[in-house]
Structure 1
Amino acid sequence: MAFYLAIDIGTEGARAGVFDEAGTRVSTASAPYQTAYPHPGWAEQNPRDWWSATVRAAREALETASVRSVRAVGVATTSSSVVILDDTGTPIRPALLWMDSRAGAESERTAEIDHPSLRFAGGSDSSEWLVPKAMWLARNEPETYAAATHIGESVDYMTLRLTGRWVGSRLNATCKWNYDHREDALPSDLYAQLGIPDLAEKLPRDIAAVGDVVGELSRAAAAELGLEPGAIVFAGGIDAHLALVALRGVSSNPVAIVAGTSNAFIAELDEPVFSPTIWGPYPGALTQDRWLIEGGQVSAGSALSWLSERILGVPRDRLGQLVASATEVQAAEHGILVLDHFMGNRTPHRDPSLRGAVLGLSLGATPAQLYRATVEAVSFGTRQVLESFEAVGVDSDDVFLTGGIRHNPLWLQTTADALGRPVNLVSGENLTTLALGILGVAADTGEGRAEVARRFAPDHIIVEPNPAATQPLADAYERYERSTQLLTGMSHELARSTQTTARVGAA
């Protein structure tokens, strides 16, 4: 029996899964790490923690499965988690996590540039992406930027640790670095216009398509992971985007909503559609000759955990009680409206300076009402993004939800209620590691991905909307959109004040 190791570097920890060639998930394990928030809008992690957590999770998964030899290893990570390394591959500062929005001014600068590659990003780069973050480093930490031999993403760092090779994923490069594989070169002229002319020299020069073999697992890495040497390592990519690989086992044209710490929306088109309310269309980022588009909510599950744990002081082991109490509150009848832009808005507004808000509070407001209103806000953000997809012609008949949302019944049901339509919930399955299992088998055996995906097809259930909740939530959604517009100016003013404080503190 052949086995395959999948590694997923998420926001809160590393997950490892062992699969066999028949599509059975033999074992799983996870290990956590910490995130630092040095200033408002900043988020950082230590890349060494990703590797040490990977070793712990992989060893546990392999030992549980009684497996010592695998045929292929693949890794997926959050996108735009930027690493800064010296010539030995050692980090010289913490990584700028995907949700870090400090590069707002640099993002605005990309919108002022007339360059053909920016057309595939809706006219500008997000503050979350690698290029604006590299601009921020060059401007605010010039000595660190100059000392960096390598700048890349978490997936590049993990590939380096696995193989010893500095290789990029076409998925990340296309979606986050303004790369077009049809040109077969990074856009150095764009980087020069943005004040970072040497960025292309620091990024991986070898860029591999998702699923392509990039090397062999090094003896050192194999020893740390508890594996025998000889496994191939293939190019992975962005965790959420790879969900489409797994979902093609159940739908020819799925829309994936990976709902967890953040919400990522992924779909592919046969022909390109251009709109400033979506990210993309990206040529051949995941599938040759197709166009990938993405959208997202920066704050989703993170907004709920922030409220329950840090504001209301409810520990995770008592979260179920809070969710149960909030479920008893009638939808949109509590008089509270929350705006979920706690770390800015990814789409459709593309505004990193939007901020969260709570409206309608009174001395009679309860924790259950506040939690319910925040769940509704996250669901309204989901509706807003999905509507932006539909507006550019995305077929949304097959919408699949996966991720941490499956552990929160109120969030799941409210999402269906706010959308006013049935949604498919993937049953207890991590689609990222499942997709890596599919890619591993395909890379090892030469089978077509579609055929392997059908064998690995995840189970799913249909979640129907509650008719009694759909209209009240539709009315509240209109207030949500109107309030966002009314408060945009104040959001920007408050964001500027915290940015000033952060610069003073850094000095």
Structure 2
Amino acid sequence: MTETFFVGVDIGTGSARAALVDLKGKVLKQCVKPIQTWNPERDYYEQSSEDIWSAVCHCVKEVTKETTKESIKAISFDATCSLVILGENGESLTVSRTGKSEQNIILWMDHRAHAEATLINATKHELLQYVGGQVSLEMEIPKLLWLKKNLQSTWSKVWRAFDLPDFLTWRSTGVDTRSLCSVVCKWNYDAMNMRWSADFLKQIGLDDLCANDFEIIGQRICEPGSAVGAGLTAQAAKELSLLPGTIVGTSLIDAHAGALGMFGCRAALEASDKPLEAALENLQGKLALICGTSTCHMSLTREPCLAHGVWGPYRGAILPNYYLNEGGQSAAGILLDFIVKTHTKYADIQAKLGKNEHIYQYLNNLLEKMRLERGYDDICFLTNELHVWPDFHGNRSPIADPNLRGMISGLNMNADEESLALLYLAFVQALAYGTRHIIDNLVEKYKRVPYSSMLFCGGLAKNSVYVQAHADICQLAAVIPDEQEMVLVGAAMLGACAANVYGNLEATSKEMGGTGVLLKPKKSTADYHNRKYRVFLQMLEDQRKYKQIMEK
């Protein structure tokens, strides 16, 4: 009997990855290949669709070379929400005045479209209520408006504008479809009425996109996990070293694939945890945190929940019959790296680390040593006099203010390793207070269904201090999947669903989500964190006061 495998492909900011995944969601083999990014001007970040496709082909060949082609039942993709511009016959078109034609992708983190986002937000169009009240300059419509206003030589030749996940689906099947996830979350598609809004596009000056029934931005919108066309074309199959006709599932944005992978994850429960069991089964009570350079906070509801500073509700963006709300922190892992690497003791610590020892584990061990020496019951009490507002790169949620800045209260002149450990811990806690701020905003202010648990994947999910801080500060159970590569698993789930192995996408997520470790919140630290959270919120008010004083 032929074995059954799926291939999940994930395109992150700096690399392409592919994984061979089995029927139960276990990653058997994976391959990573860097992709190139150009930075031709300040705040401009560009990539190449052909460079990315070449990396995809390399990775897929590598993970499938020891299996039979017949055993690969499906392949699917997730990717960053970056804008791909193509001319006739799929040729690459340059996206900047100084770039070359192969640089045809405006990366998600590109911030060139600030003026265009401001113009769009000034319209107060009703569609903006689904992006927390204002469109982000990282989304695709402001970037398309920038192209029209600043690069007519490219704009006049545009044949198709794709989100990167949809480009990969098109490149592999030859069929021009768009994922509901991409267009709803990043293109201001009207998911409530399942249509493009000609009124919106005309009002902001992009009436060109309405031509020929919106063919440039997509006429056929598909649910994630639905099969695309007749599968791999002969050409794509040759390039990927797979069989023509291999099923291709409709894509997801990368963070959303991670959320899909985790929503079906079950915690390994002890007898004393049984009261949690029913709550942990309810998709509406789960908050998925995809923690890397930035952090995305994703949750599902049966009924729409509108909230300022939180994107959504996006109908069907991940699972049919559910609405997605998406919060986030623009800087998370990159913020901790910045704080640690700019400290005077960073180089000294790095020099004495073992081959497989990471600086965050070193700092975690140092914090535990400090706790014992000072007689505290928990490391959290070490930051009693040190408080942080973490928005060094602006606030995505729930305030939606890119102009907010970071704040630290309680600094002294110490510059030893302990001072670094304390500062690191204070920033970890501040990120967790930021998550609590998002939760409180949704549950208390907007009456969203209460949360029962948090699910973690990504680089920061491997940091026990980070995860435990979230559990304690939010007073919610935290689940860390046993399978660490849940973004790749989520991508593979899309293919499994398209192949109809387990039925719909929700059933597929439950069958392939696996199990995870449960971290319970400590009640003994709740009062302490409540008081520090009050300081956290006060720091926001103080920053606003400072701005008011200076504006006068």
State whether structure 2 residue 310 is matched by structure 1 residue 278: yes
Q: What per-residue deviation string (whole Å, max 9, x for no partner) do you get for residues 436-472 of structure 1?
A: 3333223213642244333313211111234554444
In the other structure, the counterpart of 1:478 is 534
Give the match's secondary structure for 2:130.
helix
Alpha-carbon distance between aligned partners in 2 of 1:117 and 1:89, rounded to the nearest angstrom: 32
Matches within 5 A, 1:22-421: 23-33=25-35, 35=37, 43-63=45-65, 65=67, 70-79=72-81, 81-87=82-88, 88-93=90-95, 94=103, 95-181=105-191, 183-199=193-209, 200-215=214-229, 216-246=231-261, 247-248=263-264, 250=266, 251-253=281-283, 254-309=286-341, 312=346, 318-319=358-359, 320-326=361-367, 328=369, 330-331=379-380, 333-334=382-383, 335-365=385-415, 366-391=419-444, 392=446, 393-421=448-476
Distance in 1, Cα, partners of 2:30 & 2:468: 27
Native 8 Å contact 2:16 2:52 kept in 1:
yes
Cα-to-partner distance string for 1:384-433 (whole Å, 9 max, x where unaligned): 12222323313311321222223222222222232233312222332232
2:5–2:71 Cα contact (<8 Å) kept: yes
How far is the alpha carbon of 1:348 from its aligned partner? 0.3
Any idea what SS the aligned residue of 1:412 has? helix
Return the TM-score normalized by structure 1. 0.86
Q: Measure, in 1, the Cα distance between the counterparts of 2:232 and 2:117.
A: 37
Does structure 1 retain, via aligned residues, the 8 Å contact 2:232–2:243? Answer: no
Task: Work out which structure has the larger RCO, using CA pairs closer than 8 Å and 6 or more positions apart in sequence.
Answer: 2
- CA displacement 1:224-270 (0-9 Å, x = unmatched): 22223221212111222234543236433132121222211212222
For 1:16, the aligned partner's letter is A
Task: Give unmatched runs, 5+ long, in structure 2.
Answer: 96-102, 267-280, 351-355, 371-378
State whether structure 2 residue 8 is matched by structure 1 residue 6: yes
C-alpha distance in 1, partners of 2:22/2:68? 12
- In 2, Cα distance between equivalents of 1:5 and 1:493: 56
For the residue of structure 1 that corresponds to 2:282, the secondary structure is coil
**Percent identical:** 29
* Partner Cα distance (1:454, 1:331) in 2: 35
Within 2, Cα distance between the matches of 1:29 and 1:440?
Answer: 18
Which is higher, the Rg of structure 1 or of structure 2?
A: 2
Closer/same/farther in 2, CA of residues 332 and 368 from structure 1, 3 Å limit: same
Q: Distance in 2 between matches of 1:362 and 1:352?
A: 29
Shift of 1:5: 1.0
Report SS of the residue matched to 2:8: strand
Please state how far the C-alpha of 1:360 moved relative to its aligned partner: 3.5
Of 138-147 and 237-246, the range deviating more from structure 2: 138-147
Contact between 1:18 and 1:25, CA under 8 Å: does it hold in 2? yes
What is the identity, as a one-letter code, of the residue corresponding to 2:227? V
* 218-227 or 41-50: bigger deviation: 41-50
Contact 1:161 1:221 in 2 (8 A): yes
One-letter identity of the residue aligned with 1:441 = A
Amino acid at match of 1:84: I
1:268-301 CA distance string (max 9 Å, x none): 2222222213211122333333322111111111
* Distance verdict in 2 for CA 1:389–1:144, change over 3 Å: same
Supply the RMSD in Å over aligned alpha carbons: 3.1
Counterpart of 2:83, as a letter, is V
Distance 1:489 1:85 in 2: 47
Question: Cα–Cα, structure 1 residues 491 and 264, in superposed 2: closer, same or farther, change >3 Å?
Answer: farther
Label 1:338 to 1:398 Cα distance change in 2 as closer, same or farther (>3 A). closer
Report the secondary structure of 1:241's partner residue. Answer: helix
**Stretches of structure 1 lacking an aligned partner (at least 5 in a row):** 495-507
Task: Please say if residues 417 and 470 of structure 1, whose CA atoms lie closer than 8 Å, have aligned partners that are also in contact.
Answer: yes
Asked if structure 2 preserves the Cα contact closer than 8 Å seen for 1:111 and 1:125, the reply is: yes
Range 358-367 or range 402-411, more displaced: 358-367
- For residues 7 and 36 of structure 1, the distance between their equivalents in structure 2, rounded to whole angstroms, comes to 22
Deviations 1:184-229 (A, max 9, x none): 4322321221122224453233221111222321233222222232
Q: CA deviation at 1:364?
A: 1.0
Q: Which residue of 1 aligns with 2:497?
A: 442
